[in-house]
A = this chain, B = another copy of it.
């Protein structure tokens, strides 16, 4: 259990992390934004799967998944096959073009990280991976546990209340 000061610092780091994500986003092919890249990456790593499984791996709503999938399918990077066992479902599969796109993504991101993390040791990168994976688990495993937000504390002053409309 950590202290409040540490938590505030952690939140600041989370916020600032956006700049890293954007830097990474800038090197993506213009036809393949981050959402598409995530779809290709997960299909390459886990193999064929249905929409609902992909949505779970992406940790986003299925409606969002559907949009990303439509984008990559329109470019011929994946195919959507009917599932013989359940006609409501569709099985997603990388095409050869999709595999090639995935390779291109890998080349670009590796190149960027080689440059940005040139002075990081193998072990440091591994540490960061491990901690971020644990972070994701700590959040993801309690996704069904929304934290109670208590009503704001009403302070005993004569000040005009903050606008909380």
Chain A residues proximal to chain B, CB less than 8 Å: 1-4, 6-21, 23-24, 26-27, 29, 31, 34, 37-38, 41, 45, 59-60, 75-76, 96-97, 100-101, 104, 106, 108-122, 124-129, 131-136, 138-140, 142-143, 145-149, 152, 155, 159, 162-165
Contact = CB atoms under 8 A, between A and B. Distances in A.
Contacts of A110: 4, 7-8
B140 A2 contact: no
Given A27-B147, A111-B147, A136 B9 contact: no
Contacts of A7: 109-110, 113-114, 117, 125
Copy number in the complex reads: 2
Interface of A is mostly: helix
Contact of A139 (B19, B124, B147): B19
